[in-house]
Structure 1
């Protein structure tokens, strides 16, 4: 009996020690969040001086990058998605609240010229969201993604347009989104009445995104990219001859691609980068380079990158279908042959965490 008590007394501490050891060991197998202090762009020095002037966002604040230096612009608030007017004298940006967002017209120093939309309401269900503003080439109107009409739990964005010097009561809907997909986003207005935008659709395999061409308001339009390629984030060069895009093909990584814009269709695409988390490409004013966002480091903070485009090969071969549809593309998946040397991206910023869903405005 005494021996049993002694054994019990000795065994209990051993059990506690063993259990604690196992617990501590298992604790070492857990993933730990990587914390890295994010710096304001204004206290950093870009490692590469971009040509021209760029406007971008971080943490709800707007910044101007010029001559290798950042300057904060605009009043306090949750700002994002700055875009330029065609004459490069004004900006349109998004100011988000807790339950709504609005478009504002700003000067290049961030001073508010005019509030364009009034989407906040006393009743939560009556609030609205406006995102992805783009000014038309004639400078007279602004197109944007807007969550109206709303029906119950169905809240899908459609492309709307309104006069830049008018009122929101003059806004008109351009597109009819596919229900329960998120809708139509990132409009790129073309001269006249034509429009390129990102259209979402859904089938048994999930939600897909395509670049879509619409000739005029209410027209059905046609796909410019294949359904399975899941392309988005379109950016049009200043001369309107090249279109950059991010395509994921349903994978966890993406490709940065460029294709010539041939009227209403896309020509053979060049894959510039692949296997990364690329976001929000923007063109240089001369059309010879792209800027984009991509994460770096263990924390995955998004930095600004610069990519000089390689010269286009003199000959190219591409197979194309003649009639584009929702699931096909006339030529966007074709490959250029011979392939040029792969471009080398240059990391512009370090230590910041730029808003990857806010495309840079660059001129």
Structure 2
């Protein structure tokens, strides 16, 4: 039973997309983004490949920091800073850098002389006013240091010595809470995992009004939705919904109303494919996501119309790249 739960934690966290990457088409010739062009998109986007962060602007890529375990960059609301995860073999930490890749602060210190005391941090996201950074963190179980159930914490974005505050309490043996999206109201949207009576892991998009409050599910457990993203005006939500599948999923979009803690009827805009990490364009007229262009291939950048039907094919933006499916694109209008 314990081994099954550990496997479930892996499959429903980073494991799904890492496992998919193991079956890449051997005939695919991978290029560095700086050696590849792509159709221009409005604004500026940051993506990750092979542990390096790239800025995509005017149809070309520029590497802003070396290949060194970087992932999951997120831009501050004023566009002056990026916060990103730097992952090593046994731990990961958050760093603040300029949009050009100049590091200014280390926000967390996760490494320990003993491996079992190391910590993992993932999924950083700035609060709407830029004063805080929310992230997932493996709060240690004093009776089992190898159990990893991520909780969401928030820390000061400007004071590295400030003590982080815990926001969520994850369900045991699920892998924990992920993908925090702070709202203007001070509430938080994220992915919460649970295990049903048949030991099946489910994911829900969850809304929590305050730090430590119970929260409410915006989606049903059976829909297995996660990886939420909001339009900049907070009227639309996009999410990846597996609906019982192991890898293939739907990309759903729904109206969002934070005042009533509810979403509208979800509409599928991309159906039954391996996909990950959606994000809205600054004007809310496009949803970017990552998906292979062929079975077993590496992940590419795509866009879809949030008002489209599954019959309206998404647009492939890149070819022959190998983008990190666990690092959602960060898209700004600047």
TM-score interval (norm. to shorter): 0.7 to 0.9
CA contact (8 A) 2:50 2:67 kept: no
Return closer, same or farther for 1:222/1:32 CA change in 2, 3 Å cut-off: closer
CA contact (8 A) 2:302 2:315 kept: yes
Q: How does 1:107-122 map to 2 (within 5 A)?
A: 107-122=98-113
How many Å apart are 1:150 and its aligned residue?
A: 2.9
Deviations 1:278-317 (Å, cap 9, x if unpaired)? 1101111110111111112354111100113337xxxxxx
In 1, Cα distance between the equivalents of 2:51 and 2:66?
10
In 2, Cα distance between the equivalents of 1:309 and 1:217?
31
CA contact (8 A) 2:269 2:310 kept: no
In 2, Cα distance between the equivalents of 1:296 and 1:273?
13
CA contact (8 A) 2:43 2:57 kept: yes
Deviations 1:60-107 (Å, cap 9, x if unpaired)? 011000000000012441100010101111110100111100001010
CA contact (8 A) 1:295 1:303 kept: yes
2:264 to 263, 267, 288: 267
In 1, Cα distance between the equivalents of 2:187 and 2:306?
27
Over aligned residues, Cα RMSD in angstroms? Answer: 1.7
1:358 to 317, 327, 330: 327
Provide the residue aligned with 2:200 in structure 1: 206
CA contact (8 A) 1:36 1:299 kept: no
CA contact (8 A) 2:251 2:269 kept: yes
Provide the residue aligned with 1:239 in structure 2: 233
Provide the residue aligned with 1:45 in structure 2: 37
For structure 1, the residue ranges without an aligned partner over 5 or more in a row are 1-30, 312-339
After superposing on structure 2, the runs of 4+ consecutive aligned residues of structure 1 that deviate more than 2 Å are 31-37, 308-311, 340-344
In 1, Cα distance between the equivalents of 2:282 and 2:210?
27
1:250 to 236, 244, 268: 244
Secondary structure of the corresponding residue to residue 228 of structure 1 = helix
How many Å apart are 1:166 and its aligned residue?
A: 1.5
CA contact (8 A) 2:206 2:216 kept: yes
Q: How does 1:135-284 map to 2 (within 5 A)?
A: 135-151=126-142, 152=144, 153-203=146-196, 204-252=198-246, 253-263=248-258, 264-284=261-281
How many Å apart are 1:154 and its aligned residue?
A: 2.1
Return closer, same or farther for 1:209/1:298 CA change in 2, 3 Å cut-off: closer
Deviations 1:299-358 (Å, cap 9, x if unpaired)? 4111100113337xxxxxxxxxxxxxxxxxxxxxxxxxxxx6843311100111100110
In 2, Cα distance between the equivalents of 1:64 and 1:54?
6
CA contact (8 A) 1:304 1:347 kept: yes
How many Å apart are 1:275 and its aligned residue?
A: 1.3
In 2, Cα distance between the equivalents of 1:195 and 1:32?
35
Return closer, same or farther for 1:43/1:33 CA change in 2, 3 Å cut-off: closer
In 2, Cα distance between the equivalents of 1:114 and 1:341?
43
TM-score by length of 2: 0.87
In 1, Cα distance between the equivalents of 2:324 and 2:69?
11
Aligned length: 304
TM-score by length of 1: 0.81
How many Å apart are 1:273 and its aligned residue?
A: 1.1
How many Å apart are 1:205 and its aligned residue?
A: 4.4
Provide the residue aligned with 1:348 in structure 2: 317
Return closer, same or farther for 1:277/1:32 CA change in 2, 3 Å cut-off: closer
Pair member with larger Rg = 1
